[in-house]
Structure 1
């Protein structure tokens, strides 16, 4: 991941949250850079986790927290899986380009959905009940950080097989 702009240290808290979230979003999609379709789909662990699946799951996360959470629409209405586990499942149509594009679009929609909100505004559509945007930002940042760590390890294993 790239280093954070030193100017962000003095920026408003919301800008800090959004900068870190965007860096982690980019880091996660960046895990697919230079990989073949087979490598991106390669399963190296017993779970459904693959690099392509992680990015697909990250698009699901965006839609859960920032579409379902803010719009209060159901997952069925949004067109996403009902469970996180299902969000890792890849179809024949899933490619690096299509999954990356879906993730970029989900992130853009998340930014648009949160733009009019303040950090203390409540997100009403989450299954946990009303949550302030600041808590949602922290949760999403934590989840993205975990998945970036998973992706770095999987990518390292894949690249090691090239030697």
Structure 2
């Protein structure tokens, strides 16, 4: 990992994004299948759902927008909320691996483009620099959500009967 204090712009953006990717994957560390699916808030947000959503985020931004592959071709849900929905087949190991794999593909895709290259987003174009910044912020926010959920789960375990 480069020294962020002296890294070039792209190297710093990639390193910061990878720090947040690691934090997202780490949400599931030490959780069993039941804990990972626990709903502690009224929304669809669960530890496992956060990682599944982060996979969607990687795939929508890099695999769809940057690589220009249609959402339907990638099997992406139509709405953001649907990206949190867990199926019976979703497991801690499987969802984590899907996220790690999506990140690896995203890195490969991004490496083929420069920071100023523009991509379609709603009505306006965005450049790769914007996408890196957006993902850093979004993944950091969700990693924080995950930290709080895991803290709540751990507190449940340590509270006597």
TM-score by length of 1: 0.93
Match of 1:103 among 86, 99, 102: 99
Q: How far, CA to CA, are the matches of 2:106 and 2:96 in structure 1?
A: 15
CA shift, 1:129, in A, is: 3.3
Q: Which runs of 4+ in 1 moved over 6 A?
A: none
Check if 1:134 corresponds to 2:134. Answer: no
- Counterpart position of 2:53: 57
Q: How far, CA to CA, are the matches of 1:101 and 1:128 in structure 2?
A: 33
- Counterpart position of 1:149: 144
Output the aligned Cα RMSD.
1.2
- Counterpart position of 2:23: 27
Q: How far, CA to CA, are the matches of 1:127 and 1:77 in structure 2?
A: 19
Q: How far, CA to CA, are the matches of 1:24 and 1:93 in structure 2?
A: 26
Check if 1:94 corresponds to 2:78. Answer: no
Check if 1:16 corresponds to 2:12. Answer: yes
Q: How has the CA–CA distance of structure 1 residues 83 and 94 changed in structure 2, closer, same or farther, with 3 Å as cutoff?
A: same
CA shift, 1:75, in A, is: 1.1
Q: How far, CA to CA, are the matches of 1:75 and 1:129 in structure 2?
A: 18
- Could you list the runs of 5+ residues in structure 1 that have no partner in the other structure? none
- The alignment partner of 2:79 has SS state of coil
Q: How many residues align?
A: 158
TM-score by length of 2: 0.94
Q: Deviations over 1:105-154 (max 9, x none)?
A: 10001000000211111123x33432110001111111001101100100
CA shift, 1:6, in A, is: 7.4
Q: How far, CA to CA, are the matches of 1:98 and 1:32 in structure 2?
A: 11
- The alignment partner of 1:135 has SS state of helix
